[in-house]
Amino acid sequence: MSKNDVKKAEGKLGVMVVGLGAVTTTFMTGVLMARKGLAKPVGSMTQYDKIRVGKGADKKYLKYDEIVSMAKLDDIVFGAWDVYPENAYESAINCEVLKEKDINPVKDELEKIVPLKAAFDHNYAKRLDGSNVKVCKDRWDMTEQIREDIRNFKKETGVNRVVVLWAASTEVYVPVNENVHNTLANLEAAMKADDKENIAPSMCYAYAALSEGAPFIMGAPNTTVDIPAMWELSEKTGMPIAGKDFKTGQTLVKSGFAPIIGTRCLGLSGWFSTNILGNRDGLVLDEPANFRTKEVSKLSTLESILVPEEQPDLYTNYYHKVRINYYPPRNDNKEGWDNIDIFGWMGYPMQIKINFLCRDSILAAPLCLDLVLLSDLAARAGRHGIQRFLSFFLKSPMHDYTKNEVPVNHLFQQYVMLKNAIREMGGYEGDEEID
């Protein structure tokens, strides 16, 4: 791909988020504060990272926007849907992630972000009970109403392009049903037949976004776009999709630390991960059916990095357990413990303990920014379907499981994929590989 194949980032970029809770209000407040020069977007690759392009005498290190045309923070216009009617300022105060003194300088702008009525089904998140909800005849009507919201947002704000980002709660687990999820025609028929069991509200958002020419990003572990029907739709509409589940705390540690064990050829007996958190996400995940969705996402990371078939002496029969416990006193300050039992020379056991006292939304906000800006870039570069180069930001990267493709979970391999995609979109050669 030459640089000329990528459309320039002209005009305003609409960012419509599903869920106006802790993550998104932290994301919005940070962007608005950074625009005013009152805060730094720390943790954002698109704002800080530099990539080497060229070799030898031609070698230079450039920021992403020096390699490819990227939307700037000043170009972003926010919109949102939520089951609770509070505006972004009220929600940011209620979530208690940021101090009031770090929210007040952009109070006027946040107050103008008033959530649209959410497309919601109480059965998919039983712990949530908001009044700001659409009345829908069926799943197809739900989708049509979301499409209308996107069209109205474009009209009212005058944005050139829109990206839709799911940062709402984890839905109950929806297993892939081949009769419904394998073709676009079947998916549409199920929506029209109001098949509530197989069509989650998040699928309606994704379908609506792609149909309105907006890339869609799944920031929770929901099945949503991880089905062949959605891949078909994204190819048909020429729009990128990315997912799933923001890689913030414990899984970030796992995807970076497991390669140490594997690279050093040490053995693994067991990896026990437990989390305590107290925000709205924790409340929703306290429901077993919702936790199941998250568990599948978090469990997938290790198995593709430390592979039993490749090293039977080292990785056969290790025990991997993930727990999430709702603990209200912590609010957004999540604690992740990892207890890792490894073995070395002659099978002698050793232990590693990692205790990450993280702030969930502080880690997620820069991921939201990067995923939005890079999905917009991908759309302008004509990249549609699954965006594997965005795996770096996600816990359970999308992949074509119908062809037995194995997702890349190794953090440093993911980083190479990210850098090479940006190099190629900038007209440079992709030129490094960790395999």
The DSSP string of 142-171 is HHHHHHHHHHHHHHHH--SEEEEEE-SPPP
pLDDT one-digit tens code per residue, 172-200: 999 999 999 999 999 999 999 999 999 99
**Strand residue runs (E) in 19-103:** 50-53, 60-63, 76-82
Residue from 276, 286, 305, 287 nearest 391 by CA:
305
Does the reported pTM lie above 0.75? Answer: yes
pLDDT band at 225 (very low <50, low <70, confident <90, very high): very high
* Measured distance CA(317)–CA(401) in Å, rounded: 23
Residue-range domains of the chain with CATH: 3-246+362-425 (3.40.50.720), 250-359 (3.30.360.10)
Chain segment 388-413, per-residue pLDDT in tens? 999 999 999 999 999 999 899 999 99
Residue 1 has pLDDT above 70, yes or no: no
Helices 250-263 and 288-303 pack at an angle, to 10 degrees, of: 30
> Which residues neighbour 176 within 8 Å (Cβ) at sequence distance 6 or greater?
223, 226, 227
Find the angle CA(339)-CA(344)-CA(347) to the nearest 5 degrees: 100
Give per-residue pLDDT as tens, 125-139: 998 899 999 999 999
